[in-house]
Amino acid sequence: MRLVVIPGDGIGPETVSVAVTALEKAAQQSGVALDLVHEIAGLDSLAKFGTTVRPELIKTIEAADALMMGPMTTHDLHDDANGRINPSKFFRKYFDLYANIRPARTFEGAPIRIKPFDLVVVRENTEGFYADRNMVSGGSEMLVTDDVVVSLRRITRVCCERIARRAFELAMTRRKRVTIVHKANVLKIGDGMFVQTCEAVAREFPDVTVDSVIVDAMMALVVREPERFDVVVTTNMFGDILSDLTAELAGSLGMAASINAADHFAMAQAAHGSAPDIAGQNIANPLSQIGSAAMLLSWYSQRKAKPQYLEVAQRLEAAMVKTIREGKVTRDMGGDLGTDAVGRAFLANL
Ligand code: ATP
């Protein structure tokens, strides 16, 4: 497996380096070939090459099987023409990474306020209300006058269908339950199409139990009874918001793993941002990035039918469970270890 690794901005270099060491050790234990190609993008690349995403980097990634990227600081990246491209957005769009899979589960030993649970948010990743993603050129948010803004949302049947199919396929490997989260009572046409399309796909999966919940009610239900959910499928922005909530319910946003997957390419990137408030202080939680790496290896194993890569992912997951159970965690999870010390404890548990 050839994997391009980009450290990213903010806490990215700290968390990605821990994830890379863990991945290399787990791969070596399983005797699995892993060809890591170290690259840069984002602010580092802007300083060095005058652009956040170089054309050569795109070629390097195209020649690889997958990408593991740290979070990116994107607030000031508005001008594609001047090399200030948002790398996360760019790769999601360029590689059509339409399925953003964001699991959230409790771990024994992690601080939780509720009963144990284990769910996955499957978030559509290419359209919806994302002004920078849903147009071929230009953005879909417009300043009409200094005091008037119009924001357009794109929903297409093909995108609804493919994300629904990923959700149902995932449910078949889990507890066989899918919840469709939407706002079709207000966004009657767009979310109406999303719900209808999900229900049509559901007919191909008669073993899966399906229900649908309006997004505002979902916020209350998932806090009250997260254990009742298995796979939750939803549109882009609802999925973004809901998955931060479920990550925090599971213990911390610092554990929030995620992959962005197309059919033949995927990018592992933690669900949180670059956390500039804690960058460079050796306190960031690296488990989100390690969890994302594990998800990427399972994805690769399934797509290529190479079970040895699943074994590597399972080693990482087992070490994660053990490290959390031992309380060897960063302060966001109630521990007192630094990023590097969590990394060492993790390696010992591998
Ligand atoms: P960005 O500017 O990239 O969007 P942000 O700080 O606005 O970053 P997040 O990075 O998602 O947004 O962070 C939200 C909060 O969660 C911050 O207070 C941050 O410190 C905390 N946080 C995020 N990731 C981690 C992590 N891996 N470990 C510990 N705390 C984290």
The domains of the chain are located at 1-95+274-350, 113-250
Q: What is the largest CA-CA distance in the chain?
A: 61
pLDDT band at 82 (very low <50, low <70, confident <90, very high): confident
Asked if 223 and 249 touch (Cβ cutoff 8 Å), the reply is yes
Stated as kind and residue range, the H or E segment containing 103 is strand 99-105
Quickly list DSSP for 112-167.
-SS---EEEEEEE-SSBT-TTTSSSSS-SEEEEETTEEEE--B--HHHHHHHHHHH
Q: Which two tokens stand for residue 248?
A: 């925090």
Could you tell me which residue, 245 or 80, shows the higher pLDDT? 245
β-strand 209-214 against 177-182: which pairing, if any? parallel
Residue 315 burial (10 A CB sphere; 0-12, 13-18, 19+): buried
Q: What is the mean pLDDT of residues 155-179?
A: 97
Is the pLDDT assigned to residue 293 strictly greater than 80? yes
Q: Structure tokens of 254?
A: 């610092």
Please tell me the least confidently modeled range out of 1-10, 126-135, 143-152, 215-224.
Answer: 126-135
Which of the two residues, 248 and 194, has the higher pLDDT score?
194
144-168 average pLDDT score: 96
pLDDT at 60: 97
**Distance between CA 5 and CA 40 in Å, rounded?**
8
- pLDDT value at residue 109: 83
If you average pLDDT over every residue of the chain, what do you get?
94
* Amino acid, res. 292: S
Q: Judge whether 212 and 227 are in contact, CB under 8 Å.
A: no
Q: Please state, for a pLDDT cut of 70, what percent of the chain lies above it.
A: 99
Residues 6+ apart with CB under 8 A from 120: 101, 102, 103, 104, 170, 174, 230, 231, 232
The strand pair at 118-124 and 99-105 is best described as antiparallel
Residues with CB under 6 A from ligand 1: 10-11, 15, 71, 73, 75, 253-254, 272-278, 284-285, 288, 332
Residue located via tokens 């997957």:
261
**Residue 23 pLDDT class (50, 70, 90 cuts):** very high
Q: Is the pLDDT of residue 113 over 80?
A: no
What is the residue with the minimal CA distance to atom 14 of ligand 1? 275
pLDDT score, position 121: 97
Residues β-bridged to residue 210: 178
Q: Which CATH architecture has domain 113-250?
A: 3-Layer(aba) Sandwich (3.40)
pTM score of the predicted model: 0.91
CA 306 to centroid of ligand 1, rounded, Å: 34
- In testing the pocket of ligand 1, which one of 246, 253, 340 has its CB within 8 Å of the most ligand atoms? 253
Q: How far is ligand 1, taken at its centre, from the CA of residue 230, in Å? A: 26
Q: pLDDT class for 108, splitting at 50, 70, 90? A: confident
- Closest C-alpha residue for ligand 1 atom 19: 275
Q: Which region among 205-214, 244-253, 289-298 has the lowest average model confidence (pLDDT)? A: 244-253
Q: Is it the case that residue 3 has pLDDT exceeding 90?
A: yes
Same topology between domain 1-95+274-350 and domain 113-250:
yes
| Run of H or E residues at 181 | strand 177-182
What topology is assigned to 1-95+274-350 in CATH?
Answer: Isopropylmalate Dehydrogenase (3.40.718)
For residue 9, give the ligand 1 atom closest to its CA. Answer: 3
Please identify, by atom number, the ligand 1 atom nearest to the C-alpha of residue 278. 20
Q: What's the pLDDT band for 273 if we cut at 50, 70, 90?
A: very high
| Cα–Cα distance for residue pair 293/315, rounded to 1 Å | 11
Predicted local confidence at residue 55, as pLDDT: 95
Question: 96 falls in which pLDDT band (50, 70, 90)?
Answer: very high
- pLDDT of 79 higher than 80: no
pLDDT at 330 over 80: yes
> What mean pLDDT do residues 63-73 have?
95
Given this model, what pLDDT does residue 170 score?
A: 96
